[in-house]
Amino acid sequence: MAVEFRIMMLGPVIGGETFDLVVIEWEEERDELPDVELNSGWLTDPRFLTKRMTGLSSLHSATLSMDLCYPH
């Protein structure tokens, strides 16, 4: 199955520059559903993205969506 990911960040500061909105989309092939650790970390750690994205120092808010795409 393919999993489509989308991160939408409002008010991110990247490399010292502030943006209104940044959207990152990508697709991955997976044999299993996305890792529960990713989901729980996203929900419980307010610095989840800033710890993982080089140059991102802060942001107002962010959303993560995952869509499962099964072959027909």
pLDDT beyond 70 at 65: yes
Q: How many domains does the chain have?
A: 1
Q: What's the angle, vertex CA 3, arms to CA 2 and CA 7, rounded to 5?
A: 150
Interval 14-61: pLDDT, tens:
999 999 999 999 998 888 766 655 666 666 777 888 888 899 999 999
Please give the model's pTM, rounded to 2 decimal places: 0.76
Domain around 40? 2-69
- In the sheet that 21-29 helps form, which strands lie side by side, from edge to edge? 21-29, 2-10, 61-69
